[in-house]
Amino acid sequence: MTELIPETVVSDTDPPATYCRYCDQPFDSAQTRALHVGEHHADVWTTADQTAYDEALAAEDDELWVYHMKVVVGLAVTYAIVVVVYMIVLG
């Protein structure tokens, strides 16, 4: 089965930070490259690649948790403001 790799356009003013050593795809950070290698080249990766993938996955999980907490707090604040405004209007 042939794997489709999306075409990546890289501007001349903002060169990529790193490339995949297996398929030469450009990436803006080592973390995104490590995630790519773990997801698309797990059959040929080295121990260093696996360690980098595990660390990048943990960092991504932490970032996602922080994002979810921001969303929950934002929704709670919005709900509280709506309730207070509703109470003022009816009061």
pLDDT tens, 75-86? 999 999 999 999
pLDDT digits (tens, 9 = 90+) for 60-75: 999 999 999 999 999 9
Amino acid 14: pLDDT: 75
Amino acid 1: pLDDT: 52
Domain ranges of the chain: 18-90
**Is the pLDDT at 6 greater than 90, yes or no?**
no
pLDDT digits (tens, 9 = 90+) for 15-39: 778 898 888 888 888 999 999 999 9
Amino acid 17: pLDDT: 82
Three-state SS letters, 37-54:
HHHHCCCCCCHHHHHHHH
Which three-class secondary structure state does DSSP give residue 5? coil
Q: Is the dihedral of CA 30, 36, 38, 44 positive or negative?
A: negative
